[in-house]
Amino acid sequence: MRVTMSITVNPRTTILLVDDDLIVAEMLQVRLAASGYAVHHVVSATEAEAVVDAAAPDLIIIDLLPPETRNLVLCANLRNRITAPIILCSESKERDGLLLGFKLGADDVISKPFSTEEFVARIEFALRRSARDSVSSVPGEIVHVIGPLAIDQARCTVTLSGNLIHLTPTEYRILCILAKRPNHVVSAKELAERVWDTPDADIRRALESHLRRLRTKLKSGPVMAPALRTVRGFGYELVWGPSTMARSPRGD
């Protein structure tokens, strides 16, 4: 297995770069190392899976050079296993291609060509956003509790009756936004704006994929969790309380 690594003194974050274009990969490694990151570079999905297990990177960058299918599959596989942010780099300008990336669990999709400055800025934004406190604007609040569900803002963790639930950064952000207003509907437009900083209608469709995974994780806990429900035509809500079971039927 061919893995190259750029190491800086006291690296802030470990990044896995999956790219079989060695020239571009070397350029990106140099730029990321100069910004203080430790970078593992691999050229194939098989190598990426092995490095993820061994190194537990803080962020993953996957290039979608043709054929794109293999690395899209890699994105989907990794999203089912890890919570680190995933950024896709794509030459495709088609909206369907970008939307597919989000649906497969990517936290961001960067269209080529891009400048190295933009590239680093998007990485830094993804890392900041993954740890951002989205639950409450009340200074000093550390733990937000809804029934058996607890969101620890200081550690960016979610537990259900004391058991840790492993969420992706995007799932965590969605849950935090809904948890701030339990039993109140939040529109798809607002969720998209707060999760991805865009009200784009196509991107809003990608919410369903993330919500579906989040809903499954909440339901798989040891006790009944607040219900994540779709209010068709309006948005989504996190439901908790004795009156919720009597509500009118709606999608879930």
pLDDT band at 250 (very low <50, low <70, confident <90, very high): very low
Domain ranges, ordered by start, for the chain: 4-130, 143-246
| Among candidate residues 62, 46, 170, 162, the one with its CA nearest the CA of residue 110 | 62
138/194: higher pLDDT = 194
Positive or negative, the CA dihedral 234, 239, 243, 249 is positive
Q: CA Rg, the chain, in Å?
A: 19
Model confidence pLDDT, tens digit, residues 94-116:
566 667 777 778 888 888 888 88
- Determine the CATH number of domain 143-246: 1.10.10.10
Q: What is the mean pLDDT of residues 113-136?
A: 75
The pTM for the full model equals 0.58
Q: Which amino acid is at 39?
A: V
Mean pLDDT (the chain) is 79
**Terminal alpha carbon distance of the chain:** 43
Alpha-carbon separation of residue 7 from 33, 61, 149, 150 (angstroms): 7, 17, 39, 37
Tell whether the model's pLDDT for residue 1 goes beyond 60: no
Within the chain, residue ranges assigned H as helices are 22-34, 45-55, 69-79, 95-103, 116-130, 169-180, 188-196, 201-219
Residues 4-130, CATH architecture:
3-Layer(aba) Sandwich (3.40)
4-130 matches 143-246 in fold: no
